[in-house]
Amino acid sequence: MDNKSKTEELVTIKPYFQLPLILIFLSFLPLLFNVGLWPTIIFASFSFFLLIQTFTLRIQISNEDFIVLQLGKEIRRFPFKNWLAWRLFLPKLPGIFYFREKSSPHLLPIIFNPDELQRELLNKVKSLEIKNS
């Protein structure tokens, strides 16, 4: 049986709007403290960009790869065989997803359901998880 005829299980991780919505709320706090308009504009712009990314990006996890899609089109594939380590930092606040490949490290804001993401990563690459010290 060759690899192309093998059916691959793909799990799509649901979007998680908590981070961009919290940041949008926080972006307006400088107005309350008379810090100025520019910090609010910059922070709010970044927050809305993150919200748009939450709507347009999707993560799929297969048995072999971590796949990033934008508007349904694959934009990047990270084969698990190239991974050295991974960790979710402060996933409930929300936090950051870190993974290290042989060639480079990656930090991503958690704009996907952290429980689903962690469950799938533990299922596929548990041995590479960086434990809390």
Domain spans, the chain? 11-128
Q: Which residues of the chain have pLDDT under 50?
A: 1-2, 4-5
Determine the distance from the C-alpha atom of residue 90 to the mean position of all C-alpha atoms in its chain, rounded to a whole number.
Answer: 13
pTM of the predicted structure, to 2 decimals:
0.82
CATH class of 11-128: mainly beta
Helix then strand then coil, in percent of the chain rounded to 5, is 40, 30, 30
The angle subtended at Cα 74 by Cα 107 and Cα 2, nearest 5°, is: 110
